[in-house]
């Protein structure tokens, strides 16, 4: 079993805010991430697929095809967008890195052309990164 990881990027804005919280609670929990007019990041997405290399090609997964799928299903829908307002698969999700990573997993899980999806890693800043490996 070999793991293959493809890295893609997107630039988006968001605001962390829970509408059931008061303004004071939102400020207490999310601090400057709750600023009313939003802020943004250059996100780095790494998608890992694990499987056995095909003896005829030496590929676990065709990276050209994996790249095409990640772009069509995920990053084309997130890039240069507002994650609170513009993205169907994030509707009603507080767009923390944790929640975005889990949402990306759900979008990609059934679309991997060979091997199985084993990790979605999402870097929000050079200091903060989250990782989801499926399951509960």
Q: Does 38 bind a second copy (CB under 8 A)?
A: yes
Q: Does 72 bind a second copy (CB under 8 A)?
A: no
Closest to 46 measured CA to CA, from 12, 70, 69: 70
In the numeric block, which tokens belong to residue 64? 């050209």
33 is known as an active-site residue:
yes
Instruction: Indicate which single residue of 41, 71, 73, 107 sits in contact with a second copy (rule: CB under 8 A).
Output: 41
Instruction: Indicate which single residue of 23, 39, 72, 111 sits in contact with a second copy (rule: CB under 8 A).
Output: 39
DSSP-assigned states of every residue in 64-95: HHHHHHHIIIIIHHHTTEETTTS-GGGTT---
Instruction: Select which of 23, 39, 65, 80 is catalytic.
Output: 80
Q: CA-to-CA distance for 10 and 26, rounded, in angstroms? A: 26
Q: Does 53 bind a second copy (CB under 8 A)?
A: yes
Q: CA-to-CA distance for 11 and 42, rounded, in angstroms? A: 4
80 is known as an active-site residue:
yes
Per the CB < 8 A criterion, the answer to whether 3 and 48 are in contact is yes
Q: Which residues bind a second copy (CB under 8 A)?
A: 1-9, 11-14, 16, 18, 20-21, 29-33, 35, 37-42, 52-53, 56-60, 62-64, 67, 79-82, 85-86, 93-99, 101-102, 125-133, 135-136
């Amino acid at each position: 079993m070999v793991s293959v990881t493809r890295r893609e990027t997107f630039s988006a804005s968001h605001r962390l805010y829970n509408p059931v919280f008061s303004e004071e609670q939102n400020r207490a929990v999310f601090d400057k991430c709750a600023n009313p007019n939003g802020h943004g990041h250059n996100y780095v997405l790494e998608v890992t697929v694990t499987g056995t290399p095909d003896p005829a090609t030496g590929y676990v997964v065709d990276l050209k095809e994996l790249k095409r799928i990640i772009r069509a299903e995920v990053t084309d829908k997130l890039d240069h967008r507002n994650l609170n307002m513009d993205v169907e698969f994030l509707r009603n999700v507080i767009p923390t890195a944790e929640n975005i990573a889990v949402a990306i997993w759900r979008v990609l899980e059934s679309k991997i052309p060979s091997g199985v999806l084993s990790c979605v890693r999402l870097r929000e800043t050079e200091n903060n990164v989250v990782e989801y490996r499926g399951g509960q």
